[in-house]
């Protein structure tokens, strides 16, 4: 066991009530092999630390000029009394001097290194606020990108009798996947689309490995609780055909629970803060009627289907 091994985390949220049973601490781990076009956490895609810029928090036009001459690479430009970033320069920055002088968090670094022992110390602090069903959830990004760090933290969690949960795409080698699940009590696994080609079009990867890992977990000697999870994306995975294919897959593998999530644009500002184009900026939230229609299909096939955060956890 190596308590000194380090991992990169982009956020830790205490008092979370939507990431598994009870009140929890959610650890958001950096890095993800998928690049979903609707992603609400695009800051999680890479393990590398990088700058984010929140234009609405910037006070340059009100007289603040602390960052004006700080960047030695020429990444900060001041036009029409506003700060603009040269993303071709900023995306490769490793020193982040600008963030160190910004009092308003307009410029901030995404990603921080933690040792295994650092995470356990935070969880021990938070555990006093968890309910009897609470614990820790590892999310992301994709936690398995940092599998060595993840497994070491999970082992320490079990030593401390913490209830452990994970939110994962299951896009990882099978041996590593099953090794981690020895120390996991509850899991959300994403199923974005059942068709491999359609899955790749919107996420950047095929779904073969994901579905194979889900099947192997069902046949593994695992006593935890598995809930599949699907973000409902219009004209992508909300079709009758895809829902019925998902139902067939679940019935073939004796899976009985799924959580469908309505599309939302809450991550749009993060795309802007990273200098990225958000392709779903004009997409409306999923209508409740559509979600209920999908829910009915699952329930007619004896599969429990929870909408959004209306769960029984």
Does residue 79 or residue 36 have the better pLDDT? 36
Q: Which of 34, 19, 255 is nearest to 144 (CA)?
A: 34
What confidence tier does 131 reach under pLDDT thresholds 50, 70, 90?
A: confident
Structure-block tokens of residue 157: 């969690």
Q: 151: helix, coil or strand?
A: helix
Whether residues 91 and 237 share a domain: the answer is no
Could you list the residue range(s) of the whole structural domain that residue 186 is in?
Answer: 6-46+113-307
Distance CA 88, CA 167 (A): 32
Query: What is the phi/psi pair of residue 79, to 5°?
Result: -125, 135
Distance CA 309, CA 259 (A): 8
Per DSSP bridges, beta strands 50-53 and 164-168 are: unpaired
In a domain, 244, yes or no: yes
Whether residues 101 and 165 share a domain: the answer is no
The residue-averaged pLDDT of 13-32 equals 95
Say what the pLDDT of residue 312 is. 67
pLDDT of residue 313 exceeding 80 = no
DSSP one-letter code for 43: G
- What is the number of structural domains in the chain? 2
Residue linked to tokens 């974005």: 192
Whether residues 103 and 131 share a domain: the answer is no
Say what the pLDDT of residue 243 is. 98
The residue-averaged pLDDT of 166-189 equals 98
Whether residues 29 and 55 share a domain: the answer is no
The residue-averaged pLDDT of 153-159 equals 97
Distance CA 42, CA 30 (A): 10
Average model confidence (pLDDT) across the chain? 95
Per DSSP bridges, beta strands 76-79 and 82-85 are: antiparallel
What confidence tier does 1 reach under pLDDT thresholds 50, 70, 90?
A: low
Distance CA 270, CA 290 (A): 27
Distance CA 137, CA 142 (A): 12
CATH number of 193's domain: 3.20.20.70
Q: Provide the CA 240 distance to its chain's centre, in angstroms.
A: 27
Whether residues 162 and 130 share a domain: the answer is yes
206-247 tens-digit pLDDT: 999 999 999 999 999 899 999 999 999 999 999 999 999 999
Ramachandran category for residue 302: left, alpha or beta (phi over 0 → left; psi -120 to 50 → alpha)? left
Half-sphere exposure at residue 308, Cβ-oriented, CA atoms within 13 angstroms = 12
Q: Which of 67, 92, 110 is the last residue of a domain?
A: 110
Percentage of the chain lying above the pLDDT 90 cut: 92
Whether residues 198 and 224 share a domain: the answer is yes
pLDDT of residue 118 exceeding 90 = yes
In a domain, 102, yes or no: yes
Say what the pLDDT of residue 79 is. 86
Whether residues 203 and 102 share a domain: the answer is no
DSSP one-letter code for 281: T
Say what the pLDDT of residue 80 is. 86
Say what the pLDDT of residue 309 is. 81
Contact of 131 with 23, CB cutoff 8 Å: yes
Distance CA 252, CA 101 (A): 56
Whether residues 140 and 272 share a domain: the answer is yes
Whether residues 195 and 280 share a domain: the answer is yes
Contact of 55 with 39, CB cutoff 8 Å: no
Percentage of the chain lying above the pLDDT 70 cut: 98
Contact of 218 with 254, CB cutoff 8 Å: yes
32-66 tens-digit pLDDT: 999 999 999 999 999 999 999 999 999 999 999 99
Identify any residues that bridge with 167 across adjacent strands, giving them in sequence order: 188
Whether residues 92 and 184 share a domain: the answer is no
The residue-averaged pLDDT of 109-120 equals 96
Sequence-ordered list of residues with C-beta below 8 angstroms from that of 73, at least 6 positions apart, any chain? 89, 93
Greatest CA separation for the chain: 64
Does residue 18 or residue 190 have the better pLDDT? 190
Sequence-ordered list of residues with C-beta below 8 angstroms from that of 56, at least 6 positions apart, any chain? none
The residue-averaged pLDDT of 118-143 equals 95
Q: Which of 110, 131, 154 is the last residue of a domain?
A: 110
Whether residues 94 and 232 share a domain: the answer is no
The residue-averaged pLDDT of 65-77 equals 93
């Amino acid at each position: 066991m190596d308590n000194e091994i380090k991992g990169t985390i982009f956020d830790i949220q205490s008092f979370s009530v939507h990431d598994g049973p009870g009140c929890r601490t959610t650890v958001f781990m950096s890095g993800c092999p998928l690049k979903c076009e609707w992603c609400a956490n695009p800051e999680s895609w890479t393990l590398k630390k990088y700058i984010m810029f929140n234009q609405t928090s910037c006070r340059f036009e009100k007289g603040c000029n602390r960052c004006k001459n700080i960047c030695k690479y020429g990444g900060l430009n001041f036009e029409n009394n506003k700060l603009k970033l040269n993303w071709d320069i900023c995306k490769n920055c490793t020193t982040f001097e600008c963030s160190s002088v910004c009092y308003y968090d307009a410029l901030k670094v995404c990603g921080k290194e933690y040792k295994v022992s650092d995470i356990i110390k935070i969880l021990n602090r938070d555990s006093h606020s968890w309910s009897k069903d609470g614990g820790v959830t590892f999310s992301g990004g994709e936690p398995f990108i940092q599998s060595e760090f993840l497994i070491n933290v999970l082992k320490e969690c079990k030593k401390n009798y913490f209830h452990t949960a994970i939110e994962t795409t299951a896009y990882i080698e099978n041996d590593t996947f099953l090794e981690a699940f020895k120390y996991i009590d509850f899991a959300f696994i994403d199923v974005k689309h059942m068709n491999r080609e359609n899955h790749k079009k919107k996420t950047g990867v095929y779904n073969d490995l994901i579905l194979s890992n889900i099947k192997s977990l069902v046949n593994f000697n695992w006593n935890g609780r598995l809930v599949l999870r699907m973000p409902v994306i219009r004209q992508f995975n909300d079709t009758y055909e895809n829902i019925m294919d998902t139902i067939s897959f679940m019935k073939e593998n004796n899976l009985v629970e799924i959580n469908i999530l309505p599309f939302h644009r809450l991550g749009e500002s993060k795309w802007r803060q990273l200098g990225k184009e958000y392709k779903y900026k004009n997409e409306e939230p999923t209508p409740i009627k559509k979600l209920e229609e999908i829910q009915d299909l699952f329930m007619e096939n004896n599969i429990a289907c929870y909408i959004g955060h209306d769960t029984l956890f």
